[in-house]
Structures are given as C-alpha cells and as structure tokens.
C-alpha cells in the first residue's frame, strides 16, 4: 500500500492549518502596527506635553558659604556733631562783630580801641583813624573803587566817647533831645566809637545826604562793600530795626565772613542777622 502523505490523507486539515497560520500572522501584524501607533501617539503626546510646560526654573546657584570672617574690632562710632551756627561776639567792645545801637552801648562807656591807624592813600577830611583791620580793608576797597572809577573820601572814622558827647550835647542845646536823637548817636552808642565805622562820599557830592545813595560812588559801595568786609549799616526803610533813617554813606566793618553771609542771604540788618532785638529808640 502506497503510503500517503498526511496532506493527502487529511487535505482538509492541511488547509485549516494554512488558514490558521495566515490569521496568526495577520494578528501579529495588526498587533505590531497598533503598538507602533500607540508608541507614536504616546511619544508625540510626550513631546507635546514637554513643549507646553513652562521652562523649568533653573535653581539659583547656591551661594558659596562665606569663609568665617575674622572678627574685627567693632569701630567706635564717630560722634555726630551738628554744625553749630556761628557764634559771634556781639558784646566785647574789641570784637569786630560787636553790636552798638540805640539799645546797646559800649561797655565801658568810654571804651577806646588800642590799634587805631590812619588809612593810607585815602582822602580823609578830618584825618580820622580806624582800627587796623578795618583800615586795611578800607584801603583795599578804595583801590577797587578807584579802579571802577568811583574813588571816595573819608568824612568821618573813629570818634571817641568825648567827641561824640560834644556832638550830641551840642545838638541837644540846639534843638532838644528829640532833635539830637534823630541826628546822631548818644555817646557810647555810636558805631564810630568802635573804630569800625566810616562815613564816605564821592566826587558827585551829596555828602552825608540821602542822595549819595543815588550816585555812582554810593551805588558801587552799596553793591561791593561786602567783598571787603563792610556793610551799609542803615538801609532805607529799616529804622524800626536799626534805629536810624537811611544813611547811604555810613559803612561798618564786620569782616568778610559776616558781610558776605548777609549779602548772600539778602539780609540788610546786623541786628536781624545776629538774632538781636530791634533797636528803634533809645
């Protein structure tokens, strides 16, 4: 008997196996394809998610631990010193900032400076001296005024107590106390007794008159005297404070520091600048 192959014997079974094999392959193929798609989708989703996440913050570098500093001795704090306002001596007769007015007299009443000199090179009607510092400053001012075309003449400088007493008493005899007080200071109350005050006039005239303030010399002195330490002492309209009517010829030496400060502050009156009360009357 001829042996027959199994296929021949069981042709139906062979066919069935082939179908099964094809189906199995197809399953595998489908499974692999699905796996690839899932992988792709999943991977894409991952990429999408990553690209939409905020940029990860970069943690700041941790500061390196500082080396333990060598303990230094605690510095003693500098004491805070408030700049005190300048204190000027307004009482001592020899102080260049002494203040004499109708309320304030020199003490002693017949005080006289010991450093009087006659200014050199300046026309001087009575030859009156001034204190050395005021005289030197006046000489500089005279040079500057001459250079500006407005040289001046000294009418009056230092007057001692007795001369001032003679002037005042003469005016009282002439017109009474009220009349005298309007025109001149009582003895020991005159700035001329300090040796720091000077009366000036120029080529235009107006000697000891209010019109001197309108002359070129008067205007130059009013505007420039501070540079040499002088101030116009009795301005127009300040009688309620300084006690005197306008005297555009009367200049007082107070030193460049005070004179410049008053100029820079537009301060007209020495009393106000130094914090002293007004002195309208005796």
Binding residues for Zn ion (CB under 5 A): 199, 250
Residue nearest to Zn ion (CB): 250
Residue 198 vs 262, nearer CB to Zn ion: 198
Strand order in the sheet with 230-234: 152-156, 197-202, 247-253, 230-234
Quick check: is 133 catalytic? Answer: no
Residue 128 vs 250, nearer CB to Zn ion: 250
**100 C-beta neighbours (distance < 10 Å), count:** 25
Q: Of the residues 120, 247, 267, 271, which is catalytic?
A: 247
Taking the complex as a whole, the smallest distance from the CB of residue 79 to Zn ion amounts, in Å, to 46
Residue 31 vs 170, nearer CB to Zn ion: 170
Burial class (CB in 10 A: 0-12, 13-18, 19+), 207: middle
Phi first, then psi: give them for residue 220, nearest 5 degrees.
-60, -45
Taking the complex as a whole, the smallest distance from the CB of residue 192 to Zn ion amounts, in Å, to 6
Residue 14 vs 183, nearer CB to Zn ion: 183
Taking the complex as a whole, the smallest distance from the CB of residue 199 to Zn ion amounts, in Å, to 4
Taking the complex as a whole, the smallest distance from the CB of residue 190 to Zn ion amounts, in Å, to 8
Catalytic residues: 247
């Amino acid at each position: 008997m001829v042996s027959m192959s199994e296929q021949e014997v069981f042709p139906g079974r062979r066919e069935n196996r082939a179908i099964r094999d094809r189906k199995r392959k197809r399953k595998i193929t489908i499974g692999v394809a699905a796996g690839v798609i899932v992988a792709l989708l999943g991977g894409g989703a991952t990429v999408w998610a990553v690209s939409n996440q905020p940029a990860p913050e970069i943690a700041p570098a941790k500061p390196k631990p500082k080396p333990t500093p060598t303990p230094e001795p605690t510095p003693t704090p500098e004491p805070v010193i408030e700049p005190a306002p300048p204190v000027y001596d307004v009482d001592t007769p020899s102080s260049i900032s002494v203040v004499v007015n109708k309320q304030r007299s020199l003490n002693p009443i017949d005080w006289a400076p010991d450093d009087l000199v006659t200014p050199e090179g300046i026309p001087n009607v009575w030859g009156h001296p001034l204190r050395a510092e005021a005289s030197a400053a006046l000489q500089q001012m005279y040079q500057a005024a001459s250079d500006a075309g407005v040289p001046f003449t000294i009418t009056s400088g230092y007057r001692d107590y007795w001369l001032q007493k003679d002037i005042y008493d003469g005016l009282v005899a002439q017109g009474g106390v009220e009349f005298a007080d309007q025109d001149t200071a009582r003895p020991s109350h005159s700035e001329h007794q300090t040796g720091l005050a000077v009366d000036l006039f120029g080529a235009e005239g107006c000697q000891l008159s209010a019109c001197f303030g309108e002359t070129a010399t008067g205007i130059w002195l009013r505007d420039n005297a501070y540079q040499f330490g002088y101030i116009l002492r009795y301005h127009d309209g300040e009688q309620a404070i300084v006690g005197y009517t306008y005297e555009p010829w009367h200049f007082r030496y107070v030193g460049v520091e005070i004179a410049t400060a008053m100029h820079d502050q537009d301060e007209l009156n020495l009393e106000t600048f130094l914090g002293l009360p007004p002195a309208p009357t005796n």
